[in-house]
Chain A
Amino acid sequence: MADATFLDVARLRDAADTADVVLAMDEDAFRAFYDRTSGALWGYLSRISGDRQIADDLLQESYYRLLKTPVAFESENHRRNYLYRIATNLVRDARLTRRPLFDETVELADVAAPEDTADPESRADVRRALGRLKPRERAMLWLAYANGSSHAEIADALGLKTASIKLLLFRARRKLASTLQRQVTR
């Protein structure tokens, strides 16, 4: 900066306005990756945060942060795990700064898709039961059973030790099953 004049700085500013900025992926690679992963990530965000609007916001933020990261990914899986890690951290931050994310008295109208034919009552039970879990338990179960992630991948996404995942998953499963049972037998 020592040799830069005001004119140099102005020229740099103009260049930043017009030039292509450097992101971690090129457009084609990004669009292909996004098309493969965005639906599942939106599902994860909406179910972990419990809010569609937050899921919409955090989806774009997650991909932007991925594009800005200087990490050199070894594989598509590595990139996907990193994306889920970013998303998980964003949900955690949103929980600290925004209103409570998971509404346990979810209205069915809020979650029903027009073409949805599943039993609305059992669907509401599942959402309510998920809402009673801790966010980390929800994330863990979702990654394991909706995404089919391995223990190592779950640990990577949630920033936990791989060795602890088995026990934490076991407890989370028991808790969810127990909550579902209480709702069914009530």
Chain B
Amino acid sequence: MNPLHRRERDLTDAQIEAIVAGAIAAEASLARREAAPPSSAIVWWRAQMRARQEAAKAVERPLTIVHAIAIACGVGLLLSAVGTLTGGLKGSTAWLTGLYESSGTRSGALGGIDFTSLWVTLPMTAMLISALVASIAAYVIFADE
């Protein structure tokens, strides 16, 4: 009688082990015939390629960090330069405002306009944007290389 047709509790451990071992051995034999792994040469070549790519990426990682730090430093320097220049220009236009006031030729219409803000801040903003765009462009160019 096929042991599989008997109830599990009627089987001895040895019979159960025989059933399981037989079933898995048959399945393993089938799996061995199905198996079509790629050749060892291909697997070795792919491993080499992947290891090289990972090594290259590992080298590039610090380079990216250095780029980011350089850009951050550049932007910081630029902002501080803008701050210094704005302060200097404010000082340099103060004598002009004083001249207007002392000569008594100050126009009522012109007096309502903040020259410092209009003529200094706008060019400085334009310069800042240009510098940022230039930094990003330089980064993209060097990163591609």
User: What is the interface of chain A, defined by CB distance below 8 A to chain B?
Assistant: 1, 4, 6, 9, 12-13, 16-17, 19-23, 27, 30-31, 34-35, 38-43, 46-47, 52, 56, 59-60, 63-64, 67-68, 111, 113, 115-116, 118, 122-123, 126-127, 129-130, 141-142, 145-147, 170, 173-174, 176-178, 180-181, 184-185
> A127 to B23, alpha carbons, bound, how many Å?
9
Does B126 have its Cβ within 8 Å of any Cβ on chain A? no
Pick the residue among B11, B16, B27 that contacts A130 (CB under 8 A).
B27
Is the pair B51, A39 in contact by a Cβ cutoff of 8 Å? Answer: no
Check B59–A16 contact: CB distance below 8 A: yes
28 contacts between A and B (CB under 8 A): A1-B62, A9-B60, A9-B62, A13-B56, A16-B58, A21-B51, A22-B51, A23-B47, A23-B48, A34-B40, A38-B35, A38-B40, A42-B36, A46-B34, A59-B38, A63-B43, A68-B51, A111-B30, A111-B34, A113-B34, A118-B26, A145-B24, A146-B31, A177-B16, A177-B19, A181-B4, A181-B8, A184-B2
B31, A43: Cβ atoms closer than 8 Å: yes
A42 and B35 form a contact (CB under 8 A): yes
Instruction: Give the one of A12, A43, A122 with max B CB within 10 A.
Output: A43
Known A-B contacts A60-B38, A181-B7; the reply to A27 vs B44 at CB < 8 A is yes
Residue numbers in B under 8 Å from A52 (CB-CB): 34
In the complex, which residues of chain B have a beta carbon less than 8 angstroms from the beta carbon of A12?
59
B46 proximal to A (CB < 8 A): yes
Alpha-carbon gap, A38 to B52, bound state (A)? 23
A6 vs B114: C-alpha distance when bound (angstroms) = 47
Q: Is the CB of A176 within 8 A of B48?
A: no
> Smallest CB–CB gap between A142 and chain B, Å?
6
Q: Are B34 and A177 in contact (CB under 8 A)?
A: no
Does B90 have its Cβ within 8 Å of any Cβ on chain A? no
In the complex, the answer to whether B27 meets A180 with C-beta atoms within 8 Å is no
A sample of 9 more A-B contacts (CB under 8 A), given A146-B25, A176-B23, is: A34-B40, A34-B44, A46-B35, A113-B30, A127-B27, A129-B23, A178-B8, A180-B23, A184-B4
**Does B59 contact A67, Cβ atoms closer than 8 Å?**
no
Judge whether B24 and A141 touch: CB under 8 Å: yes
Give the chain B neighbours of A118 by CB distance below 8 A.
Answer: 26, 29-30
Taking the nearest CB of chain B, how far is it from the CB of A37, in angstroms? 10
A47–B28 CA distance with the chains assembled, in angstroms = 9
**Assembled-state Cα–Cα distance A12/B62 (Å):** 12
**In the bound complex, do residue B51 and residue A23 qualify as a contact, i.e. CB atoms below 8 Å apart?**
yes
The proximity string for B residues 48-78 relative to A, scoring 1 for CB distances below 8 Å and 0 otherwise, is 1011100110111011001000000000000
> Least Cβ distance of B16 to chain A in Å?
4
CA distance in complex: A4, B58 (Å): 15
Contact, CB under 8 Å: A39 / B62: no
Q: How far is the CA of A2 from the CA of B124 in the complex (A)?
A: 35
Chain B neighbourhood of A41, CB < 8 A: 37
Chain B's nearest CB lies how many Å from the CB of A3? 12
